[in-house]
Chain A
Amino acid sequence: MLAADGTPLKKSLARALRMQKMRALMLIAPLLIFVLISFIIPIGSMLFRSVENGIVAETLPLTVAELQNWDADSGELPDEPLYAAFVTDMVAAIEAKKHTRLGTRLNYEQTGMSSLFRKSGRKIKRMDPATDGPFKEQLIKVDKKWGEVETWAVIKAHSVKITNGYFLNAVDMQRTPDGAAPQPEDKRILIKLFQRTLIMSLIITASCIMLGYPVAWILANLPARTANVLMILVLLPFWTSLLVRTSAWKVMLQQQGVINEVLVWIGLVADDARLVMINNEFGTIVAMTHILLPFMILPMYSVMQTINPSYLRAAKSMGATNWTAFWRVYFPLSVPGIGAGSILVFILAIGYYITPEIVGGTKGVFISNRIAYHISSSLNWGLAAALGTILLAVVLILYWAYDKIVGIDNVKLG
Chain B
Amino acid sequence: MAALTPISRKPMSLVLPTVAAAGGFFGLFVGTANGSGLLGVLIGAALAVVLALVYVSVLKNEALSKWINIALFGVLGYVFGGGIAPAIIGLVYGWFIHWFTYWLYEGRYRARLLPYLTPGQVLWHYSFRVICGAIFTFLITPILVVMPLSFNAQDFFTFTPEMLRLDPAGYSLKHYQDFFTNNEWQRSFKNSLIIAPIATVISVSLGTLAAIGLSQSHVPGRRAIMAVMISPMIVPLIISATGMFFFYSQIGNWMEGTLGFNKTFVGYVKVVLAHAVLGIPFVIITVTATLVGFDRSLTRAAANMGANPVTTFFRVQMPLILPGVISGGLFAFITSFDEVVVVLFVGSASQKTLPWQMFTGLREQISPTILAVATILVAISILLLATVEMLRRRSERLRGMSPS
Contact = CB atoms under 8 A, between A and B. Distances in A.
Interface string A224-240: 10001010111111011
A244 B374 contact: yes
A211 interface: yes
B315 to A, nearest CB: 18
A179 interface: no
A256 B287 CA distance: 46
Contact of B206 (A31, A239, A357): A31
B32 A268 contact: yes
A395 interface: yes
A25 B214 CA distance: 8
Interface stretch (B47-55, B143-151, B169-177): B143-151
Contact of B33 (A41, A247, A265, A350): A265
Nearest to A249: B142
A258 to B, nearest CB: 6
A399 B236 CA distance: 11
A252 B371 CA distance: 12
Interface centre among B207, B226, B247, B355 (most CB of A within 10 A): B247
Contacts of B348: none
Contact of B142 (A252, A388, A392, A399): A252
B229 A35 contact: yes
A345 interface: no
B360 to A, nearest CB: 11
Task: Give the interface SS of chain A, mostly helix, strand, loop or mixed.
Answer: helix
Interface string A4-40: 0000000000000100110111111011101110111
Contacts of B243: 39, 42-46, 388
Interface stretch (A70-78, A156-164, A405-413): A405-413
A248 interface: yes
B131 A214 contact: yes
Interface in B34-72: 34-35, 37
A315 interface: no
13 contacts: A24-B213, A34-B206, A35-B277, A38-B274, A45-B243, A214-B135, A218-B128, A224-B404, A236-B382, A242-B340, A248-B374, A267-B35, A385-B242
Given A43-B235, A218-B129, 18 more contacts: A21-B219, A23-B213, A28-B225, A32-B229, A38-B277, A214-B132, A228-B404, A240-B377, A241-B338, A242-B338, A248-B143, A261-B158, A267-B31, A348-B236, A381-B246, A388-B239, A412-B285, A413-B285
Interface of A: 17, 20-21, 23-28, 30-32, 34-36, 38-46, 49, 211, 214-215, 218, 224, 228, 230, 232-237, 239-252, 254, 256-258, 261, 265-268, 290, 293-294, 322, 347-348, 350-354, 357-358, 368, 371-372, 375-376, 381, 384-385, 388, 391-392, 395, 399, 408-409, 411-414
Interface of B: 29-35, 37, 121, 124, 128-129, 131-132, 135-136, 138-143, 145-146, 149, 156-159, 202, 206-207, 209-210, 212-214, 216-220, 223, 225-232, 234-240, 242-248, 250, 273-274, 276-277, 280, 282, 285-286, 288-289, 327, 331, 334, 337-338, 340-341, 344-345, 355, 358-359, 362-363, 370-371, 374, 377-378, 381-382, 384-385, 388-389, 392, 404
